[in-house]
Amino acid sequence: MKKILITGCFGQIGSELTMRLRRDYGNDQVIATDIRRIEGSPLLEHGPFEILDVMDQRAMHRLAEKYQVDTLIHLAALLSAVAEAKPQLAWQLNMGGLMNALEVARELNLKFFTPSSIGCFGPETPADHTPQDTIQRPTTMYGVTKVAGELLADYYYTKFGVDTRGVRFPGLISHKTLPGGGTTDYAVDIYYEAIKRNRYTSYIAADTYMDMMYMPDAIEAIVRLLEADPARLIHRNAFNITAMSFSPAEIAASIQKYLPDFKMDYQVDPVRQKIAESWPNSLDARCAKDEWDFAPAYDLDTMTQDMLEKLSKKLGSTTA
Ligand code: SER
């Protein structure tokens, strides 16, 4: 992996991954692309940026060729709650964009990464210690595109020899870029509201468990998997990974360790609650550990401490 093209660079993952890869591989080695330009973003200052609509396969091919990249990281996609509101668009973008990206990877012989998600599972999946290889019958359009995406990426590996790799991300928490319309977003919003108002109204019920991960661990996982020795990989698309599993009540309790007056109440959103209930409580990530040494560093309390510190600086408060 020497020269990398990223789609969806201004998203929650892309904005941090682009910076990390530029630090590791050099600013000019990482070509950031997105459907729109966000003026003032540090991504525009430190290396190449190009406008790219992932629905335009020829444009993607042209850019990959122009910069002579050897790796394609395809991140542009709709998240679960937005996909439920616009299922047709979600299918078109999530599947169409992925198919285009895989085709470009096949034509130019690129290494390939795209994320799957805990959303690839459904109500019939074993909810606790969810195995790597298990029932995948999701009941959301997001999940349908994620399962189909996993199969398609594996197909490109077995049929065409494209070096495709992926992980099933849990909810990702970060203090830099907000997620755009997912079910797990409450676990990000709660920290912002804790700093701003010392209280939060959760749209997920108190005792609903989902897997989560702090963004530094997620970024590290992508880099590690892309650099992993292919001879060790038994699986490819996509690996279960997780750093923690908690409920809204537990994240609130973790915040209260640092902000004792923090208050939480609940106004459950039936749409996102139903999605959350269809997803696992906690994944088994042993295959990722065995096959490419996945090893997250943050647990709930260390993440909470870091989030509150970073956000109080960012939001200009001295609460934490
Ligand atoms: N965080 C994502 C979502 O909630 C799950 O992959 O949609």
Contact 131, 203 (CB under 8 A): no
Q: Where in the chain is the domain with CATH 3.40.50.720?
A: 4-170+214-240
298 is known as an active-site residue: no
Ligand 1 pocket check for 18: Cβ under 6 Å: no
Ligand 1 pocket check for 94: Cβ under 6 Å: no
Q: Give the mean model confidence (pLDDT) for residues 97-106.
A: 98
Whether pLDDT at 314 is above 80? yes
- Active-site pick, 25, 67, 142, 186: 142
Write down the pLDDT at residue 55.
98
Q: Where in the chain is the domain with CATH 3.90.25.10?
A: 172-212+244-280+298-314
Q: Give the mean model confidence (pLDDT) for residues 292-314.
A: 97
Q: What is the mean pLDDT of the chain?
A: 96
Write down the pLDDT at residue 151.
98
What tokens does 130 get? Answer: 């969810």
Cα(247)–Cα(201) distance, integer angstroms:
14
Whether pLDDT at 320 is above 50? no
Domain spanning 4-170+214-240, CATH architecture = 3-Layer(aba) Sandwich (3.40)
Ligand 1 pocket check for 169: Cβ under 6 Å: yes
Contact 246, 43 (CB under 8 A): no
Contact 299, 242 (CB under 8 A): no
Banded pLDDT at 316 (limits 50, 70, 90): confident
Cα(137) to ligand 1 centroid in Å equals: 16
Ligand 1 pocket check for 171: Cβ under 6 Å: yes
Best residue among 141, 184, 188 to mutate for probing ligand 1, ranked by most atoms within 8 Å of CB: 184
Q: Give the number of the atom of ligand 1 that is nearest the alpha carbon of residue 183.
A: 4
Ligand 1 pocket check for 182: Cβ under 6 Å: yes
Best residue among 142, 188, 189 to mutate for probing ligand 1, ranked by most atoms within 8 Å of CB: 142
Cα(1) to ligand 1 centroid in Å equals: 27
Residue located nearest, by CA, to atom 1 of ligand 1: 171
DSSP 27-69: GGGEEEEESS--TT-THHHHS-EEE--TT-HHHHHHHHHHTT-
Ligand 1 pocket check for 140: Cβ under 6 Å: no
Whether pLDDT at 216 is above 80? yes
Cα(186)–Cα(275) distance, integer angstroms:
13
The CATH number of the structural domain formed by 172-212+244-280+298-314 is 3.90.25.10
Residue located nearest, by CA, to atom 6 of ligand 1: 117
Write down the pLDDT at residue 236.
98
Q: How far is CA 294 from CA 5, 21, 71, 306, in A?
A: 23, 18, 21, 21
Contact 116, 150 (CB under 8 A): yes
Positive or negative torsion for Cα 219, 220, 221, 226: positive
Is pTM beyond 0.85 here? yes
Write the pLDDT tens digit of every residue in 28-60: 999 999 999 999 999 999 899 999 999 999 999
Q: Give the number of the atom of ligand 1 that is nearest the alpha carbon of residue 179.
A: 1
**128: enclosing H helix or E strand:** strand 128-130
**193: enclosing H helix or E strand:** helix 186-197
Cα(271) to ligand 1 centroid in Å equals: 13
Residue located nearest, by CA, to atom 2 of ligand 1: 182
Write the pLDDT tens digit of every residue in 176-209: 988 888 999 999 999 999 999 999 999 999 999 9
77 prior amide bond cis, ω within 30:
no
